Copies of this chain bind each other. A is one copy, B any other.
Amino acid sequence: MQEPEEPAEQTQVADSPGPRDRRPMDSLFAAPPMVEQERMVEAILFASAEPVTIKELGERMPHGCDPAEALAHLRKRYEGRGVQVVRVGDAWAFRTAGDLGYLMQRETVEVRKLSRAAVETLAIIAYHQPVTRAEIEEIRGVAVSRGTVDQLIEMDWIRFGRRRMTPGRPVTFVVTQNFLDHFGLESARDLPGLAELRAAGLLDNRPSPIGGPNEEDDADALEAGEGQSELFED
């Protein structure tokens, strides 16, 4: 019985060329033609159930490729087709066209029904992100249960964002790429009615004039004014 860490000799596989060897282009040569790059992006996006970022595409494609341009071509090619190239945050994925959902009953994934508290909390996080727990509670006027947040995190719809630079450095919540994917949103900017809500001032975290029922949140609320606007900075 030999140790598995036996010398290189035996372990070396000699009978199949490494995958790289089949790669048609070498980095020394010019990048593949755009049509070919488009095929590559097509293959990669098709293969993955998860959205893939431009960066990831670039890492997987031969050197010198322009995944962004190839993607733009691909997107155009699939316009109006049964599957679409959709943007999910800063990533891309193939998804079936929304109007054909009725054909896919068999594939329907049953989504756990969320409680009203969870749905509202999710919406508040999406529209006000990054948002602290205290801010969520101020908006809903009721304490947010631990279970609600846990459930949303577990579903990978929300995650922790940066800490707020206010006393106590409270943690903030933001929505995830998976959230965008699930709801077919290109970005959090595309949330339905976001512009109207902002125009109506309903996304402002207006500080309560002293003595409001939620005074403990004032500190946060003041600073939170930036709210969703932060989203547009980065």
Contacts and interface: CB of A to CB of B under 8 A. Distances in A.
Contact of A116 (B7, B48, B105): B7
A147 B7 CA distance: 11
A199 interface: no
A155 B14 CA distance: 9
Contacts of A208: none
Interface residues of A, number: 71
A14 to B, nearest CB: 4
B9 A117 contact: yes
Interface in A79-128: 80-83, 94, 96-97, 99-118
B147 A12 contact: yes
Contacts of A151: 8-9, 12, 14
Contacts of A187: none
Contacts of A6: 109-112
Given A5-B112, A47-B104, A81 B42 contact: yes
A69 interface: no
A41 interface: yes
A29 to B, nearest CB: 15
A83 to B, nearest CB: 5
A84 to B, nearest CB: 10
Nearest to A104: B47
B61 A155 contact: no
Interface string A40-84: 111110111110000000001100000000000000000011110
A24 B60 contact: no
A24 B102 CA distance: 9
A50 B1 CA distance: 7
A27 to B, nearest CB: 14
A109 B11 CA distance: 10
Contacts of A10: 113, 145, 147
A11 B112 contact: yes
B83 A43 contact: yes
Interface stretch (A15-23, A159-167, A225-233): A15-23
Contacts of A115: 7-9
